[in-house]
Amino acid sequence: MPKIKTHSASKKRFSKTGGGKIKMSHAFRSHRLISKSKKAKKSHRLDAYASDANSATVKKLIPYK
């Protein structure tokens, strides 16, 4: 069986956990943080996981990670 190429953009943005979930970072976290509320900035520090609907697609994009 041939190897599958890993999607380059996906390997920078997603990672797999030990339990098989897809871990990702939150959006709107890089700049213009003064205008955002403290609650919004604090909630974006927590881990984010892909939904079950999208995780199957992401797992195909990063098969060896």
Is residue 2 included in any domain, yes or no? no
Is residue 30 included in any domain, yes or no? yes
Q: Which two tokens stand for residue 17?
A: 């956990």
Domain span at residue 13?
A: 8-61
Is residue 46 included in any domain, yes or no? yes
CATH number at residue 35: 4.10.410.60
Number of domains in the chain: 1
Is residue 16 included in any domain, yes or no? yes
Is residue 44 included in any domain, yes or no? yes
pLDDT on residue 65: 85
- Predicted confidence pLDDT, tens digits, the chain (65 residues): 899 999 999 999 999 999 999 999 999 999 999 999 999 999 999 999 999 999 999 999 999 98
pLDDT on residue 64: 93
Is residue 1 included in any domain, yes or no? no
pLDDT on residue 62: 96
pLDDT on residue 1: 84
